[in-house]
Structure 1
Amino acid sequence: MEILIATQLGATQVSKPPLGGWGRGVQFTDEQAAVLDAVADEIIPGGDGFPAPSSVNIVGFFARYVTPASEEAKWYPFLPEIEFKARLGKLAGKLMARDPLGRVEVLRRLEADDAEFFTRVRDVVYYGYYSRPEVIRAINIHLEAGKDYRYSPQPFGYSDSMADWDEALLSRVTGTYIRTQDVRPVDLPDDLAARRAVKRSGVPDLPTAQPAPTPSGA
């Protein structure tokens, strides 16, 4: 069964996607949740201080971004509940009895056979995993460049982690500039204008746009 993609071409969206996903979310069976955990754990293996996706409730994130059966799947990731659950059921038989290497092979085959569906599932795994507080803490602790990372810089920005401007250094900066409103055209010297004309010889002028007509009564 193919995922139904209610999109994009010819569709007129008159409302906005629900902020933070669908409030109540869809409900997964134990088998469906196990398949999602297994898929996510192979896409982003835990280790080196980072938790596995299955340990940070990646299933709960999917539950909010799979479109409920009562709604039209018109926003990314375009995963309608009924069709998505059917796909999980098919994956269960291929995936759950395999060891990690076998699961990776199943996912590689899925990516080759249905790249669109695989990409959407992978994207939700990425979005969900890197939004989890446990993962953000791991980034803060284990990555040198991530010590000041937070899920959203607003409303505080990064003022608590950025170094102050070096006022002494700034005070030594000198230079001049011409304000935009003070810029004036200048006449080219005759010899420079002649050289420019020779350089452009044989090069057709680019067409220029005609000025828009003045509205009547203006």
Structure 2
Amino acid sequence: MQRSRHVVDLKLSAVGGKPPLGGWLPPIRLTERQGTVLNAVADEFIPGGDGFPPPSDVDVLSFITRYVTPAGQDAKWFPFLGENDFKARLEKLGDSFLQATSAERVAILSGLEWDEPEFFGHLRDVVYYAYYSRPAVVHTMNRSLRAGRDYRLSPQPYGYTDVMDDWDDELLARVRGSYRRTAEVRRIEVPAHLREATS
């Protein structure tokens, strides 16, 4: 009983003007077919390869179902997808999408991008966000990509000290700056020709 009251409180706090931290609890529930369609869509957006797993192998669904806005709430925060509409669109893709070849799936998604660019953009964005939040993907980036060696799910508690270059003390010693107290700051008159250029 205590747990369910806590869940209700989380939902109500989101109504007060701030998005729910870490997504909605409990997450929305997809049918098995809806989940299969969403995994297939995600795998077309981000095909696995070169050591990177496909999205369906790293459980992007658990992320997405926390961030899709539950029925009865306004979808006014990322990813701007409401539960009922989202599920209906997955159902509409349904078996025809699942039975299609990869090339046919890409064509279906291209048509969706053309016909419904706003929905397509929200769907694509949440899939990307979900994928690059997965620990297995972060680990692969750390191991495989020079530019990804310092990518972390969260910089805390370690920060980035182990991957940052040391400060150049010699260069810093040559830097000269100045400081003016706030009380000493005076308003300046902007010349007329500059005021006109910015208006």
TM-score of the two chains, using structure 1 as the length reference:
0.72
Alpha carbon RMSD of aligned pairs, Å? 2.6
**Which segments of structure 1 move beyond 3 Å, counting only runs of 4 or more?**
173-184, 203-207
Amino-acid identity (%)? 51
Measured against aligned partners, the alpha-carbon deviations of 1:164-189 in whole angstroms (never above 9, x if no partner) come to 3344x248x446555436999xxxxx
Could you tell me whether the CA contact under 8 Å between 1:21 and 1:65 is conserved in 2? yes
Which letter maps to 2:180? T
Which letter maps to 2:124? R
> For the structure 1 residues 24 and 166, does the alpha-carbon distance in structure 2 shift closer, same or farther, using more than 3 Å as the test?
same
1:205 to partner: Cα distance = 7.7
> For the structure 1 residues 27 and 178, does the alpha-carbon distance in structure 2 shift closer, same or farther, using more than 3 Å as the test?
closer
Could you tell me whether the CA contact under 8 Å between 1:27 and 1:63 is conserved in 2? yes
1:152 to partner: Cα distance = 1.9
Mapping 1:83-98, distance limit 5 Å: 83-98=85-100
Partner of 1:54: 56
Partner of 1:143: 145
Which structure would you say has the larger RCO, counting Cα contacts within 8 Å and 6 or more residues apart?
1
Match for residue 44 of structure 1 among 29, 43, 46: 46
> For the structure 1 residues 36 and 163, does the alpha-carbon distance in structure 2 shift closer, same or farther, using more than 3 Å as the test?
same
**Distance between the aligned counterparts of 1:28 and 1:136, measured in 2?**
26
**Distance between the aligned counterparts of 2:73 and 2:193, measured in 1?**
57
> For the structure 1 residues 205 and 15, does the alpha-carbon distance in structure 2 shift closer, same or farther, using more than 3 Å as the test?
closer
TM-score of the two chains, using structure 2 as the length reference:
0.78
Q: How many residues align?
A: 176
Greater Cα radius of gyration, structure 1 or 2: 1
Structure having the higher helix fraction is 2
